[in-house]
Amino acid sequence: MKALMKLICIGACCLTINAIGQTSVSQSMNARQRADYVNQHITGLTPDQQSKIATIEEEYLGQGKRVNATATDSLRRATDNKIRAVLTNEQYEQYQNLTMYPH
């Protein structure tokens, strides 16, 4: 009976660890997908700009998990400001026209 309980506990731990790992990967992919979307729809981005946008999107998603709905708008505005600092004025106009974010 004790052996069966240990086996059940080990199985539950493995499932939990697997679920945590999948969540992290999907969040990272989501940030990558968001950055890729921006990269595809804004012309003339340099590799440095693309890298910075990917980093900003990863930060946004990571912070978004820790804030409530009220703070999400503030976080989105702060993220937009960071992205604006990376882009030229023309590129930022294109960014504002993307439908993936409300501005």
**What whole-number distance in Å separates Cα of residue 38 and Cα of residue 28?**
15
The pLDDT of residue 59 is 85
pLDDT digit string, tens, across residues 6-16? 445 455 444 44
User: In angstroms, what CA-CA distances link 75 with 63, 85, 88?
Assistant: 8, 16, 21
pLDDT digit string, tens, across residues 19-69? 444 333 334 458 788 888 888 999 999 999 999 999 988 888 777 666 666
Residues ≥6 apart with Cβ < 8 Å to 86? 49, 52, 53, 56
